[in-house]
Structure 1
Amino acid sequence: MARSSAPGSQQDPVDSMIIDTDVSTEMRGSFLEYAYSVIYSRALPDARDGLKPVQRRILFQMAEMGLRPDRGHVKSARVVGDVMGKLHPHGDGAIYDALVRMAQSFSLRLPLVDGHGNFGSLDDGPAAPRYTEARLAPAAMVMTAGLGENVVDFVPNYDNQLTQPEVLPAALPNLLVNGGSGIAVGMATNMPPHNLVEVIAATRHLIAHPDADLEALMRFVPGPDLPGGGKIVGLDGIREAYAGGRGTFRTRATARVENVTARKKAIVVTELPYQVGPERVIEKIKDAVQSKKLQGISAVNDLTDRAHGLRLVIEIKNAFNPEAVLTQLYRLTPLEESFGINNVALVEGQPRTLGLRELLQVYVAHRLEVVRRRTEHRLAKRTERAHLVEGLLIAIADIDEVIAVIRTSDDAESARTRLMTVFDLSEQQAEYILELRLRRLTKFSRIELEAERDDLAREIAELRAILADEGLLREVVSDELAQVAAEHGTPRRTVLLESSGQAAAAESAAPARRGRGGAEVPLEVADTPCRVLLSSTGLLARTADDTEPARTGARSAHDALHASVRGTARGEVGAITNRGRMLRLSVIEVPALPPTDSAPSLSGGVPVSEVLMLEPGERVIGLASLADDAPPLVLGTRLGQVKRVVNDYPRKDSWEVIGLKDDDEVVGAATASEEDELVFVSAQAQLLHFPAALVRPQGRGAGGMAGIRLADGDTVLSFSVVPAGRAESAAVVTLAGSTGALPGTVPGSAKVTPFALYPGKGRGTGGVRAHRFVRGEDSLLLAAVGPDPVRAVGSAGQPVELPELDERRDGSGRVLDAPVAGLG
């Protein structure tokens, strides 16, 4: 309340400065200003470049300092000081924390800062900024490229002495690729990382098809791809988040059962859920064991090192089933964690909750605007340069007269005016001629200028064409994204599973531990007949019985079946790799699928790497029975060799089944009787099939015999077996494309043809053509021969629709809606 003064007295100057204000109104206004500042300037990322202000300022300032990947690191304290002093006056702690996170490979799928020194771990913080060094990572150069070409607006810094970009050009979709988290006032954001190649493929599809729906985009982006790998269990929450911006999924560690001694087993964890460290897991395991909630564990050892990566060994007591213990670990420890998606980002300065399609639309609109502004800038620069080159050519053509005009002029202003009058030049051309150096008057300089003039004319025409044609502008943006994916893309690390895969057929009356969802994992597994299945994306599973998996409902099932072999739950089967090795596979270590009358969903399986010890670059390409009465194993190699192997397998964990040349590898393996048909399909679309009886069985060390005759540069793409009596119902699927395209980004064209249309030939011949290439295609990318229907799946096992049956043996294919990663 203002003070009162007597009438006629002079008012106190202090009283004149007091303003009566309602407290509730003042608090409301102040709180809203504070909330807006937190939301806009601190906590939420921009949907265009996926960066918070502090992250954007760090990258911009490091680019201004010239800290490129080809230069040396500098102290992080120097970077923090420059950012704080010029752009971000909010304290060095917040700046360094943001710098550290952008350098951590376990936090970001594509780190933007190249750190040198201790930048922390999942369990420990980083060293002080005076001890660490940093520079921009290659991906950050893509984020900041083009800042000097007027591609984005610049705004004043906090003291109006410098300028900073309002948003970065961001030539990669950083918000989806690296995700983000932040807590604002009344709202928060939590976005998981994704695979760069998959996100760019979806972005390019949206650029080419602006009306594409969510289902079409999810064919390219089936789910998050976490930096540490692991598994995502249950995809319903991901679909909800992609549709409305909010959802939940579970992340699970990658674990396998190994023999640590001759009679002792252990659960070995090689990948942990997102943002979970090994020390936290060990602490939770110890607490659960001490409180008697968790049984069957004798010791936990952390053998993680830089050479071999994460390796957490959980030793199991004798008489305990490792599968039952693992189920309890998932339930009681951070080996399984939930992640809540909340896609909140700033769009035109306002926080919005965005689905996958909306996120991509905002980014595409941003890139179209960036490329348009960059094109306008380059057009103006080249037009200006072309104008000066034309003036120089005029001057060189009449150089004697130009010199005479200049020498007879009183001053520079007079010379400029006379040049403009005599030679019909503009003021810019005349000024440029006056500054001309004598060494530019040679004959060679004129040739260079004429070549430059022609190049500028061509570039100006191309730039004007881009600005005049929206379709051409979109094509430029799409091509640049493809280049980014080719340079910075990496394979998917996280396995996506529709279900947990922990359910097992508990037919015995043995004691059991109840797992998630009520499924029981028995402590003792009965030795019942079953089938071991290998999916096209590298998942292993087993069925509840030994009946052949049904083929009905294949369109809706997850993943495609690549190989199937009979076995027993406590028995062993053989896994054949592309290196020509066979490894013993214990069936009990493979999760059992619940019984079903339709096609099995292999999402309940486990990656091959969790069950078998493979060498770098080695992959499993087939399964085989180890029984003495099983048909001989038959192999086909990349260079066209074929071999049937005698069934005299040793009692070892692994052994060689074929002698390969240095540049050869096995592309297909299965068991085959003498009446079955062996089928080769080459990359140049040649198909050859002949009876297995034409190949005599050989010992394990032999290199096989000629299977198909290949043309120069051709290789075998697919080798398979068509059982006797099934040739009439078999189909041939071929997928053509360009070998120069980045895998997983171009759908290609597919054709499905009856196998009966292809005549048989003799062993060692060239076969017949199976696919006609059209423009833009030079090779087959994938091929498969098997009982109809053959299924196609994407990188995460999602189904991809194949065309209907085509009776043309050597016809061309139909372009698919999404890239195909496997056939089965």
Structure 2
Amino acid sequence: MVRMAQDWSLRYPLVDGQGNYGSIDGDPPAAMRYTEARLKKIAEEMLSDINKDTVDFQNNFDDSLQEPTVLPTRIPNLLVNGASGIAVGMATNMAPHNLSEVIDGTIAFIDNRDIEVSELMQHIKGPDFPTGALIYGYAGVQDACNTGRGRIVMRAKAEIEATKSGREQIIVTEIPYQVNKANMIERTAELVNEKKLEGISAIRDESDRTGMRIVYDIKRDANANVVLNNLFKYTALQTSFSVNNIALVKGRPMLLNLKDMIHEFVEHRHEVIVRRTRYELAEAEKRAHILEGYLIALDHLDEVIKLIRNSDTPEDARLGLMEKFGLSDLQARAILDMTLRRLTGLERDKIKEEYAELMKTIDYLKSILEDEGLRMKIIKDELIEIKEKYGDERRSQIVHSAEDMRMEDFIDDEEIVITISHNSYVKRTPLSEYKRQGRGGRGSIGTNTREEDFTEHIITASAHNYMLLFTEAGRCFWLRAFEIPEGSRTSRGRALQNIINVPKEEKIKAFILVKNLKDQDYLENNFIIMCTKKGTIKKTSLEAYSRPRANGINAININEGDQLIEACLTTGSSEIVMALRSGRAIRFNESTVRPMGRTATGVRGITLAAESDEVIGMISVNDSETTVLVVSEKGYGKRTDIEDYRVTNRGGKGVKTINVTDKTGELVAIKGVTDNEDLMIINKSGIVIRIAVEELRVMGRATQGVRLINLKDNDEIASITKVDREEESEEESELTEESTENGDSTSEENTDSNEE
């Protein structure tokens, strides 16, 4: 009885308990002398019509009482509250479900007896546990509904919150079904003390009468998402419920799927309706028979009174009435039991009205017994009434796991900025956090890096993009952009090795953003072009990189002393521009590079000007409106028309693309840009500036360029990227004007030099 009163044990408690009935922490209930109990209203629905011969009765254990063999329940209790038990050689373990969903599914079954289990599951989504929590993955639910057996994974409902001090906390508000909260917290603390769980500084149970709240304080240098995943892996925050739907059907144990259980409930209700109707019909006919006797007596009132007055005993009167008026024994006894007030004219009219109504009821009850469709309608109407009285919202949210549904179905496809540091720390930040400034401004703090670290790559992407990451050693790894932990603009980020299996000794040097790795036509008509520091270039079909592997794959064979530095996604008909640190660049058609296999080395793309020279970047150009943007290490840059670079054969020395001086420093980046884009620049100290490309006027190839960012002493450009132009709000315009006024003004220095 105690369990029937616990709202964390039964989805719909059947007993209303007063006093101590235990707790979810495993506290024992008080002795029975200290508690009181009464049936809940929903429990009374399970006993409805039990006095109308709706179910069979049998003797109890000592033959002192009669007890029902089964209850004439109006609610499918086996489905909504579940059951668990062990017998000889078999056991049962049924999950609880939501009453509203079960009733909807039952009505759908009544309307269509040939309904498939999959169609029923459109109404009954899956189990609905008393403690709420999450059902993680749908495969186990489908197995349980289709076969009667399945393993359902349950996860605690947890959120990651930031405190005012900037620390992160994991807040758990719902735990899996049948988990002892106190034991779970105690076991978690043991794992933390044993160093099997890292990143947790404190655990507190802040639960009260308003609800559950378990707080895990996260250490400053720990990733809250990683800690949460470890909690799911090593503690009862994630557990499973093994469904085994064994039930007695006509006295025989059977394994039932979802449709079978609903079928048996409907058959049970059908039998109850039939037996109840027969009982009510018998009672109605009995009453009608008595009323017929009353009407006969009232029609012969004087004779009846005279016969009764002249009789010596009630028995003589009964026999006299039966003989003279043809009444039955039941009618004669009822007449003798009548009070004098029933002999008035008003009472006579009431008896006639009651008899007329009773005859209508008898006709209706007979029609129920004759029409199965009407009986099914009654079952449906009663179920709808139950739903209106006791139906509620689902507590357990179903979260589809990676095997069931794509993660991007749960994540907004927002524009983000991804930064990767020299020491392989990565983070993503909403693009909206980076406001546009004027050219020559000082920028804003982009990343707080340690002294020995600096931002090496800055990438703009969509959260749903696939990222192909290429290491300097020529290996390729896959990552979805949304899998990168989100951080603030100034946060350090997380170690890339904690996200993908890239070796610590290898650094990410290039990356490609791909929208779809499953569209075969897209894969076959796009290519990846890679180049190395020593000027080698290689072209491979994108299809060769469409099957992600946890440990990565070889993307290009790198010669000793060389390393991969850039990769581009092309359509096969682009033009390629490669740039050297010495300030030279070459332009050639992509068609001059034949496609090769993944493990090939490649061919010569550009010849280095000197032993100390190296390739710093490569772009692919498809649009004549694209201009070539080059940036030097000391913050100078410029745009040049693509047509200023003549098309040559690959392997040449190229032409001058910027006039490299002590003032500008060597070339560090090259990008293809248009007027409707913005440029984001980040220096090694973590400062970021975002400027409009159209602010940079187009210049000749051999010019020095203009200052893009005002660098402090000993600071250098780390990386640049381009982003699509956004609508500029008034607030952003004011910020732009202010930053331009505060920044150092610079003149456009166009020092020409002879083209080589």
Question: Which among 365, 368, 374 is matched to residue 472 of structure 1?
Answer: 374
Query: What's 2:228 paired with?
Result: 326
Question: 1:231–1:496: 8 Å Cα contact kept in structure 2?
Answer: yes
Does residue 344 (structure 1) correspond to residue 260 (structure 2)? The answer is no
Quote how far apart the aligned CAs of 1:127 are: 1.4
Q: Distance in 2 between matches of 1:120 and 1:523?
A: 49
Partner of residue 152, structure 1: 55
Q: Is the 8 A contact 2:427 2:485 kept in 1?
A: no
For the 8 Å contact 2:418–2:461, the answer to whether it is kept is: no
Provide the C-alpha distance between the structure 2 equivalents of 1:251 and 1:434, rounded to a whole number of angstroms: 69
Q: 1:511 to 1:180 in 2, by over 3 A?
A: farther
Q: Distance in 1 between matches of 2:319 and 2:422?
A: 103
Of 7, 12, 17, 1:115 maps to 17
Give yes or no for the alignment of 1:271 onto 2:174. Answer: yes
Judged with a 3 Å threshold, the aligned counterparts in structure 2 of structure 1 residues 104 and 598 are, in CA distance, closer, same or farther, namely farther
**1:296 corresponds to which letter in structure 2?**
G
| Residue identity opposite 2:331 in structure 1 | Q
Farther off after superposition, 395-404 or 192-201: 395-404
The match for 1:461 is 363
For 1:293, what is the secondary structure of its paired residue?
coil
Tell whether 2:203 aligns with 1:287. no
Q: What is the SS of the residue equivalent to 1:225?
A: coil
In 2, are the aligned partners of 1:530 and 1:547 still within 8 Å (CA)? no
The answer for the alignment partner of 1:359 in structure 2 is 261
Amino acid at match of 1:362: E
How far apart in 1 are the matches of 2:307 and 2:2? 64
The counterpart of 2:71, out of the listed 163, 168, 176, is: 168
Deviation at 1:527, TM superposition (A): 2.2
How is 1:428-577 mapped onto 2 (pairs within 5 angstroms)?
Answer: 428-499=330-401, 525-527=427-429, 545-546=461-462, 569-570=486-487
Which residue of structure 1 lines up, in the alignment, with residue 135 of structure 2? Answer: 232
Shift of 1:159: 2.0
Amino acid at match of 1:292: K
RMSD of the TM alignment (CA)? Answer: 3.4
Cα distance between partner residues in 1 of 2:432 and 2:100: 38
1:321·1:524 contact (CA, 8 Å) conserved in 2? no
Instruction: Give the direction of change, closer, same or farther, for the CA distance of 1:524–1:100 in structure 2 (3 Å limit).
Output: farther
Aligned to 1:26: none
Q: Secondary structure of 2:33's partner? A: coil
- Checking the alignment, whether the CA contact within 8 Å between 1:528 and 1:568 is kept in structure 2 is no
Assess, with a 3 A threshold, how the Cα gap between structure 1 residues 503 and 422 changes in structure 2: closer, same or farther: closer
Structure 2 distance, partners of 1:105, 1:186, is 31
Matches of 1:120 and 1:545, distance apart in 2: 53
Q: 2:208 aligns with which of 286, 294, 305?
A: 305
Equivalent position to 1:194, from 70, 78, 97? 97
Alpha-carbon distance in 2 for matches of 1:294, 1:131 = 42
* Partner Cα separation in structure 2 for residue 365 and residue 511 of structure 1: 70
* CA positional deviation for 1:265: 2.0
Residue 362 of structure 1: how far off its partner (Å) = 1.0
Please tell me whether Structure 1 or Structure 2 has the larger radius of gyration of its CA atoms.
2
Cα 1:251/1:509, change in 2 over 3 Å? farther
Greater displacement, 188-197 / 156-165: 156-165
Per-residue CA shift, 1:683-713, capped at 9, x if unaligned? xxxxxxxxxxxxxxxxxxxxxxxxxxxxxxx
Q: Distance in 2 between matches of 1:410 and 1:254?
A: 84
- CA-to-aligned-CA distance 1:613-646 (integer Å, 9 cap, x gap): xxxxxxxxxxxxxxxxxxxxxxxxxxxxxxxxxx
Contact 1:466/1:473 (8 A) holds in 2: yes
Aligned-residue offset at 1:177: 0.4
Aligned counterparts of 2:89 and 2:68: Cα–Cα separation in 1: 27
Cα gap change, 1:317 to 1:342, in 2 (>3 Å):
same
Aligned to 2:621: none
- Distance in 1, Cα, partners of 2:173 & 2:425: 24
Q: Distance in 1 between matches of 2:92 and 2:178?
A: 16
Counterpart pick for 1:383 among 285, 295, 301? 285
Structure 2 SS opposite 1:422 = helix
Distance in 1 (alpha carbons) for counterparts of 2:465 and 2:280: 61
Which residue in 2 is equivalent to 1:645? none
Aligned-pair CA distance for 1:373: 0.1
Task: Provide the residue aligned with 1:335 in structure 2.
Answer: 237
Uncovered stretches (5+) of structure 1, i.e. residues with no partner: 1-98, 513-521, 532-543, 551-566, 573-590, 600-672, 675-824
Indicate if the aligned counterparts of 2:418 and 2:426 stay in contact, CA closer than 8 A. no
Matched, 1:125 2:28: yes
1:126 CA displacement = 1.3
Q: Kindly provide the amino acid, as one letter, of the partner of residue 482 in structure 1.
A: I
State how far apart, in whole Å, the 1-side matches of 2:9 and 2:406 are: 28
| Cα distance in 1 between the residues matched to 2:425 and 2:7 | 39
1:8-37 residue CA offsets vs partner (Å, 9 max, x unmatched): xxxxxxxxxxxxxxxxxxxxxxxxxxxxxx
- Taking a change above 3 Å as real, the CA distance of residues 275 and 437 of structure 1, as seen in their structure-2 partners, is same
**What is the CA distance between 1:568 and its match in structure 2?**
11
Paired residue secondary structure (2:126): coil
The question of whether the paired residues in 1 share the 8 Å contact of 2:420 and 2:426 is answered with no
- The aligned residue for residue 163 of structure 2 is 260
- Provide the secondary structure at the position in 1 that maps to 2:393: coil
Is structure 2 residue 271 aligned with structure 1 residue 369?
yes
Counting matched residue pairs gives 447
- Aligned-pair distance for 1:596? 6.1
Distance between the aligned counterparts of 1:511 and 1:289, measured in 2?
Answer: 32
1:400 to 254, 278, 302: 302
1:545-694 aligned within 5 A: 545-546=461-462, 569-570=486-487
Contact residue 147 and residue 169 of structure 1 kept, 8 A: yes
Deviations 1:79-110 (A, max 9, x none): xxxxxxxxxxxxxxxxxxxx111111001101
Selected match of 1:248 from 151, 154, 159: 151
**Partners in 2 of 1:211 and 1:430 — Cα distance?**
54
Amino acid of the structure 2 residue aligned with 1:472: L
1:526 aligns to what SS in structure 2?
A: strand
Other structure's SS at 2:462 match: coil
Pair 1:105 & 2:16 matched: no
Name the CA shift for 1:400/1:330 in 2 (closer, same or farther; >3 Å): same
Q: Taking every aligned residue pair, what percent have the same amino acid on both sides? A: 43
Distance 1:178 1:523, change over 3 A: farther
Q: Output the TM-score relative to the length of structure 2.
A: 0.55
Q: Tell me whether 464-473 or 276-285 shows the greater mean CA deviation.
A: 276-285
Q: Which amino acid aligns with 1:248?
A: R
